[in-house]
Amino acid sequence: MNETYLVEETDQSKRIDKLLSDVIEDASRSQIQGWLKEDYVLVNGKAVKSNYKVQAGDEITWTIPETKPLELEPENIDLEIVYEDSDVIVVNKPSGMVVHPAAGHEDGTLVNALLYHCNDLSGINGVERPGIVHRIDKDTSGLLMVAKNDKAHESLVKQLMDKTVERKYLAIVHGTIPHEYGTIEAPIGRDPKDRQRMAVVDSGRDAVTHFQVLEQFEDFSFVECKLETGRTHQIRVHMRYIHHPLAGDPKYGPRKTLELNGQALHAKSIGFEHPRSGEWLKFEVDPPEEFTETLEYLRSKS
């Protein structure tokens, strides 16, 4: 059920996340920031950022997402730890693993595995997402950084907001792209026709993806994508937007595609400044077997 608040003169120029934390009982500022990020909060019918300063007469509407209390249990699930110290863990997440528990995925997640591996994860994102600074989709494989304490968490989040974290992905997309390099700059928000999907929409948040074509095949291209921003499903939405959707993508791609267990997308490398030492760290992992076998298949046909 939608709720509405009309901004008064006395609220003029307040940050929207601060204002709503005062208006909505039992909602923390970090929760509200999450709702803003997921477009559960709109101002005059449009999505805004957490630092938006409200104006008298603004109509704020919000829908509080349903939450299901979760009792997180540590699970002895194999984890490929690429790097670990007292502040940060970098893991190579396999395709098919959900990052954190949610409705329909209460166990078997990366968080369940992390809780078994260590008991010192940051608590900023609450009990349901301990240590989670950013995430990658269930069927996307590759590198993810996790914070082991709140100070590290705040540092990594700030680096993401400042766009200083380097994130590169490998993808197989439909069609032959006619140029070697490209940049997609198009805002992403909830698809007004399907709230379960994201889309390029005028009211969305700024989103920038750079790409380089690595190989061309008869009906597909092998590309490397570099994220400047990190919107939900960004690469999947942006590649669809330029008419080169990811192979195997069940949500944004065509039905007739390569036989894959989800989209052909791999988080190849990640680089960031260590939250305590300030040292620049960079890690890289090869794509999983299914991805490389698909590439070999396409090469054999070309």
Spatial separation of the C-alpha atoms in residues 113 and 269, rounded to whole Å = 22
Indicate which residue of 137, 191, 219, 249 is catalytic: 137
Q: What region, left, alpha or beta, does residue 85 occupy, with left being phi > 0 and alpha being psi -120 to 50 degrees?
A: beta
For residue 142, what are the β-bridge partners?
93, 267
Phi/psi at 171 (nearest 5 deg)? -145, 150
The DSSP-derived string for 121-153 is ---TT-TTSTTBSS---TT-EEEEEEESSHHHH
Q: Using CA of residue 260, residue 261, residue 263, residue 268, what is the dihedral sign?
A: negative
Spatial separation of the C-alpha atoms in residues 149 and 269, rounded to whole Å = 23
Spatial separation of the C-alpha atoms in residues 101 and 107, rounded to whole Å = 6
Whether 11 is catalytic is: no
Q: Give me the active site residues, please.
A: 137
